[in-house]
Amino acid sequence: MNEAPDHPRDPAGWSAAIAVAFFILCLMRIATPGTPYFDEIHYLPAARALLDGSEYLNREHPLLGKEILALGIALLGDNPWGWRLFPALAGTGALYAFMRALWFASLSRFAAIAYGVLLASGFALFVHSRIAMLDVFFVAFLALALWQCAAAMREPETGRGRLATAGVAIGLSMAAKWNAVPLAVVPGLAFFAARLAAGRRRLFTSRRGIPVPGVSLLEAALWLGLVPLAVYAATFLPAYGFDKGGLQPGGLIELHRQIIALQESVVEPHPYQSRWPEWIFNLRAIWYLYEPVDGAQRGILLIGNPLTMLLGLPAMVWAIWRGVGGDRAALAVTVLYAVSLGFWMVVNKPIQFYYHYFLPSCFLLAALALALDELRQRGWRRLTTATLVASVALFGWFYPILSAAPLAGEQSFAFWMWLDGWR
């Protein structure tokens, strides 16, 4: 008799537990420092101006992220909890969505759980979940879109609704920060490539074949093309109501010319600037905070987990090899990594920073999770478990300078400075 097919159990419960634990950790000392720090000094005034309609500030970025920050202030007050609770919720949502995306892409219970552990202990998601910046919002919405796209392919009976949700999430991601734009076109192009490969005679109208049976290419263009653009444009509606600098009818196109010009105008060198070769080897950090504040010397460092950022590189090479060989999950991870990192190799933005690697690093860790799953299936269980334990241990080691914990003195930072580029 034939053996029953293997049906791996959905790790939704474990994914939720990891996300809840991460959220609780984010809330610890989230009100420290009690004053705005790093780029909060740009985004919080813009959020306050949104609430009173006084002036259109911070025009170099879209509005949605600042609208979310304004909502936090409106609900919880103009205080650290009002500034940072929604970033914490977004970071937690991103963590859960990324885990669900990898589950539907790979159907590997271990890979999805390992991915959650790697992301939660990877430094970047934690730091950005505790600061009122825009990055965590665009990453969270993009993670939701990827989850829904992967689930639509795995469960085509729910495909139409999931693609519609993905389209809305893509629009919201672009509206939070333009870093999402290079990735925004990937789901639609992937749908087109898959349907083309399926060899359907009526390419644009046939509802048969991969990636989502029951949805035609024309309908997919609606959900993954037109809907994101409409949602993106709708987020600018509050910009027409500012007393000073508000948009005029038909002014949305001109605004985007201004955004491009503002993005390209920053050319003055910055002590923390870096480029992509330094990002992938984890060579250049950014101190978001290092000063006496709230009664103690405190610091918040943005850098990647020293172990997993480097282990992720050979894992990505392995994922490329597997992707070329037909592994769809590995192929998706490599394409997303290549597009999100490649954008920063060619974009005309003279001054760049390590936080631009936030999104690519999420895909790097996905490749590492898939590689660890492969090793585990080949019998290397202790090694894969030890890797996850070591990642968490390093997170604990660096936790004081990731979370603004009180430090002993002004020179305490040197304890963690393994490389000169982290100073």
Residue with the bigger pLDDT between 255 and 265: it is 255
> What is the model's pLDDT at position 260?
83
pTM for the complete prediction? 0.94
Tens digits of per-residue pLDDT, 181-232?
A: 999 999 999 999 998 887 767 888 888 888 999 999 999 999 999 999 999 9
> What is the model's pLDDT at position 2?
56
Handedness of CA 355, 356, 362, 368 (dihedral sign): negative
Tens digits of per-residue pLDDT, 14-67?
A: 999 999 999 999 999 999 999 999 999 999 999 999 999 999 999 989 999 999
Average pLDDT, the chain: 93
Among left, alpha and beta (phi > 0; psi -120 to 50; other), residue 379 is left
Which of these ranges, 5-14, 300-309, 322-331, 408-417, has the smallest mean pLDDT? 5-14
Specify burial of residue 62 (Cβ count, 10 A radius: 0-12, 13-18, 19+). buried
CA 361 to chain centre: 9
Residue with the bigger pLDDT between 272 and 163: it is 163
> What is the model's pLDDT at position 303?
96
C-beta separation of 350 from 267 below 8 A: yes
Confidence of residue 120 (pLDDT cuts 50, 70, 90): very high
pLDDT at 377 over 90: yes
Q: What distances in angstroms separate CA 333 from CA 178, 180, 405, one per listed residue?
A: 20, 16, 35
Q: Name the β-bridge partners of 301.
A: 287
> What is the model's pLDDT at position 10?
93
> What is the model's pLDDT at position 3?
54
- Distance of alpha carbon 231 from alpha carbon 165, whole angstroms: 11
C-beta separation of 113 from 13 below 8 A: no
pLDDT at 143 over 60: yes
Tens digits of per-residue pLDDT, 57-99?
A: 999 899 999 999 999 999 999 999 999 999 999 999 999 999 9
Q: The tokens of 315 are what?
A: 């894992």
Residue with the bigger pLDDT between 2 and 371: it is 371
pLDDT at 1 over 50: no
DSSP secondary structure of 257-300: HHHHHHHHH--S--TT---HHHHHTT---EEEEEEEETTEEEEE
- Distance of alpha carbon 366 from alpha carbon 145, whole angstroms: 16
**Mean pLDDT along residues 250-270:** 81
Specify burial of residue 185 (Cβ count, 10 A radius: 0-12, 13-18, 19+). middle
Q: How many residues are listed for the chain in this entry?
A: 423
Tens digits of per-residue pLDDT, 392-414?
A: 999 999 999 999 999 999 999 99
> What is the model's pLDDT at position 5?
54
> What is the model's pLDDT at position 200?
66
Q: Name the β-bridge partners of 293.
A: 296
Please give the single-letter amino acid code of residue 146: L
